[in-house]
Amino acid sequence: MKAVVIGTGRIGCGVAAQLLRAAGLEIVFVGRNPQVVDHLNRVGRYIVRLVDSRSSEDFVVTGVRAVLSSDASRVAAEISGADIVATAVGCGNLMSIAPLIASGLAQSRKRRTNVLAFENFGSAGDCLSRFVAGCLKGTRRASTHAVSGALVTRVVARREGDPAGDEPLVFVGDRQATVYVDAATLAAPLPAVEGMVITDRYDAAVQRKLFTFSAGHATAAYLGYLKGYRYIHTAVCDPEIRADVLEAMAEGQKALLARYGPDIAGDERTLHEILSRFDNAALNDSIERVGRDPVRKLAKEDRLVGPACLAREAGIIPEKLMLAVAAAMLFCPLADRAAMELSRTIRCDGPTAALCRVSGFSPDDTLAASAVRAYRRFASERPERSQLLSLEQPLWA
Amino acid sequence: MKIAFLMLRYASEVRSPVTGDVIRLLGEWGADVEVIYPEEQVISLNAVRADHDLYVLKSRTELGLGYAGALDAAGATILNPYAVSVRLRDKIALTALLQAADVPTPQAYVTAHPGSLAPLLKDGPLAVKPYRGSGTRGVHVVWDPEDLDDVPSNQGPVFAQRLVERGSTETKVYYIGGQMFGVKRAWPARTYADKCGTAFTVSPKLREIAQRCAVAFGIDAFALDIVGSHDDPNVVDIKSFPTFTGVPNAALRVADYIYDAALRATNRRPMLVAAAGRKAS
């Protein structure tokens, strides 16, 4: 059996291909970076290094090859022969890969091919499915294709190694291996893949991850950035941040409890387990990486505003989630284009208009007002490029 | 990741807890941390090797500095670099560099004989300091020519600065990997609580001064002693890798910085975070 994995980044290599290869599938990557594609073909393998505070374990993923995404006919030929197509390209790139997938599926002799979107947002399967359907319009595959979301729980923090060299690249992540796949949209039965859980409650699983783990991760990143830390494991050592991260996750968890019940929401121990994952210094997970693209992360259904709105429905005041939203509005590393753009919009249009634009709040929404109040409290006396010394009584360094 | 601290062992009652906490945190984060006390061993200069990814030069003793020099020659990566640490020890070179970088400093003089300073006293008092010293040790405040008799004349060049009154408080600006922290504290500080002082927001003027120092010396971890008024601050001393006492969450911030520096060292990335290539602005 063969899997085509579109995307040669952290999730494509560090999760999707590793699990599929371990299940015995042949792996063909589709990548847009010629240097990485050439490297994978030359070296034929890479390493997934799973780390925690005590140990690390290497998994060598062998027998891989790759084709360039610009070589559309070769990509289509590979996809036409694939049993599984996996994508891990980031939500902004789904539209651009849809024609490649559609072209491959149109040529395929298989009646049904599973397409799994290993993307970190809930509606990735639906989005990609629509894009592919648009490309397949009028073909015999138009009504038979399907795309399932595949929710990744592992953090893959970084890639090490030089694609120009001959040593295998190393993808460093934590030990979480579970991938939840949306049962409702599978095109055909999946082969047994260790770590892959087919679930009928995919949306709930997505919200569980976003509203607890991702909410806590983002809170640590944005508050950590304000206080000038470089790494997530450092930020959560700061007692103020640790307490707020835990509280933000608790707000999300209470919202999940009201919506889905305890099976999905988990309990206090669940949150401490998540927090201990943030303590994992071996990941060297930087605050800039985790906070990257606050515009996407402040979206209505994403990790901060999503649980805040659900919490409000359940009668919970999401104070710490809104604090994290305020901190996200101040997140502006120079290398983060989306963050810089948000910062510019806030300067030009004011914080309320900017937040409403990215999060879908109406200007008179009380949650938006509380986030903007917190933002103003932080921003009013902030010297340029300064660090916050205390969250309680804002004093800047 | 292997990190070594070159330190002088202090009695527990004068030791700042910050460095111990930094070492503990780095260990908890998986770094292999060794503390080296050069004063407590015989160092074979034929066998000095850079066995660690990063060395943190905390000791300001001649032996500590000498050992850092030997490690530097063996190719070690040192925070702060050996050459810079040497320069910071020499108040004559230090003052010249600060002035070249347009950092405001009190008028300074150097001479071979303390008595030669007498004519300068008509314009006000001087602080006469050992040219290779740190802190307040060996500092003489001289108001009258006869006070110069107390200044040792056989300890190398005599360095003097025009005295700028600091009153009952002193101002420190700490620089940690591009980040700046201000602390005001009682002068002289007698207790640990005195040393912790009170954090304040660093003014744009002090920020610019600290950034100029970082660029001029090529260092990322230091403290500035500031005297003078809010509008007319003067730098009277700069210390490489101080204890950072008084900086809120100092241990966490310093450990974060050293961890990042060690990662840079292991990945052969440039060591200086903020000082390199950034103009003072």
Q: What's A364's domain CATH number?
A: 1.10.1040.10
C-alpha–C-alpha distance, residues A158 and A170, integer Å: 8
Chain B touched by A284 (CB under 8 Å): yes
> How close A249 gets to chain B, by Cα (Å)?
23
Chain A touched by B46 (CB under 8 Å): no
Structural domain for A301, as ranges: 203-396
The predicted structure's pLDDT at residue B22: 96
CA B95 to chain centre: 13
The predicted structure's pLDDT at residue B14: 59
DSSP secondary structure letters along B35-104 = EE-GGGS---GGG----SSEEEE---SHHHHHHHHHHHHTT--EES-HHHHHHHH-HHHHHHHHHHTT--
Q: Do A395 and B255 touch (CB under 8 A)?
A: no
The predicted structure's pLDDT at residue A277: 96
Token pair 């200086």 is found at B272
Mean pLDDT value across residues A243-252: 98
Helix axes A351-359, A366-379, angle to 10 degrees: 130
Mean pLDDT value across residues A219-243: 98
Domain boundary among A151, A172, A200: A200
Does A283 share its domain with A161? no
Does A79 share its domain with A20? yes
For residue A293, CA distances in Å to A215, A290, B55, B201 come to 14, 9, 35, 29
C-alpha–C-alpha distance, residues B19 and B38, integer Å: 17
**B274 or B86: whose pLDDT is higher?**
B86
DSSP secondary structure letters along A95-155 = HHHHHHHHHHHHH--SS--EEEE--SSTTHHHHHHHHHHHHHTTSTTTTT-EEEEEEE---
pLDDT tens-digit readout, B258-271:
999 999 999 888 87
C-alpha–C-alpha distance, residues A383 and A349, integer Å: 20
The predicted structure's pLDDT at residue B15: 67
CA triple A34-A36-A42, angle to 5 deg: 100
Q: Does the interface ipTM go beyond 0.90?
A: no
CATH number (domain holding residue A71): 3.40.50.720
The predicted structure's pLDDT at residue B277: 45
- Which CATH number does the domain B2-84 belong to among 3.40.190.10, 3.40.50.20, 3.30.2010.10, 3.30.160.340? 3.40.50.20
Mean pLDDT value across residues A12-29: 97
Nearest CB among A228, A238, A397 relative to B201 is that of A397
Q: Do B199 and A229 touch (CB under 8 A)?
A: no
CA A240 to chain centre: 26
pLDDT tier, B280 (very low <50, low <70, confident <90, very high otherwise): very low
Domain boundary among A167, A200, A233: A200
Q: Do B257 and A230 touch (CB under 8 A)?
A: yes
Does A157 share its domain with A232? no
Does A240 share its domain with A312? yes
Chain A touched by B172 (CB under 8 Å): no
pLDDT at A34 over 90: yes
Mean pLDDT value across residues B141-149: 92
Q: Do A228 and B253 touch (CB under 8 A)?
A: yes
What the block records as the tokens of A306 is: 């999503």
**Mean pLDDT, all residues of chain A:** 94
Does A37 share its domain with A111? yes
Token pair 């020499």 is found at B90
pLDDT tens-digit readout, B176-214:
999 999 999 998 888 888 889 999 999 999 999 999 999
Enter the pTM of the model. Answer: 0.90
**B14 or B1: whose pLDDT is higher?**
B1
For B243, phi then psi, to 5°, come to: -85, -15
Q: Do A397 and B255 touch (CB under 8 A)?
A: no
pLDDT at B125 over 90: yes
Mean pLDDT value across residues A275-298: 96
Does A289 share its domain with A175? no
Q: Which of A106-115, A263-272, A293-302, A349-358 has the lowest mean pLDDT?
A: A106-115
Query: What is the location of CATH 3.30.1490.20 in chain B?
Result: 107-162
What is B107-162's CATH number? 3.30.1490.20
Chain A touched by B41 (CB under 8 Å): no
Mean pLDDT value across residues A176-187: 92
Does A219 share its domain with A333? yes
Does A79 share its domain with A213? no
The predicted structure's pLDDT at residue A142: 64
The predicted structure's pLDDT at residue A158: 93
Domain boundary among A152, A179, A200: A200
Number of domains in chain A: 2
The predicted structure's pLDDT at residue B279: 39
Asked whether the beta carbons of A296 and A328 are under 8 A apart, the reply is: no
Does A169 share its domain with A48? yes
Nearest CB among A237, A284, A397 relative to B263 is that of A284
pLDDT at A133 over 50: yes
Does A207 share its domain with A192? no
Terminal CA-CA length for chain B: 35
For B171, phi then psi, to 5°, come to: -115, 130
The number of beta carbons lying within 10 Å of the beta carbon of residue B219 is 24
pLDDT tens-digit readout, A348-385:
999 999 999 999 999 999 999 999 999 999 998 888 88
